[in-house]
Amino acid sequence: MNWELFVVCFVTIFISELGDKSQLVTFTMTSNSRFPWYIFIGSASALILTSGLGVLLGDGIAYLLPDRPLKALAALLFAFLAFRTLAD
């Protein structure tokens, strides 16, 4: 197992997920529920499923497209979303 890659991925995702919309929704749902562990299991399962889907799609796209154009496309998409957010 590549532990360096694992740690980098874990830390990056952990920091980026702090305070995002899904965490705020989880806080809200938990505050109104008598069964917080069900909410934990549901939200954790959803995050695992979406991450797995991202890995599968990313692996498929990486197989079809070379590395450099794929990184350029990702950079352009992030830049577009940033400018759109700033414009709003």
* pLDDT one-digit tens code per residue, 26-83: 989 999 899 999 999 999 999 999 999 999 998 888 888 888 988 898 899 999 999 9
- Between 8 and 18, name the one with better pLDDT: 8
- Specify the pTM: 0.67
As to burial, measured by CB atoms within 10 angstroms (0-12 exposed, 13-18 middle, 19+ buried), residue 67 is exposed
In the chain, the number of structural domains is 1
Q: What is the pLDDT of residue 17?
A: 82
Cα dihedral across residues 42, 48, 49, 50: positive or negative: positive
Q: What is the pLDDT of residue 18?
A: 80
Domain of 50?
Answer: 3-87
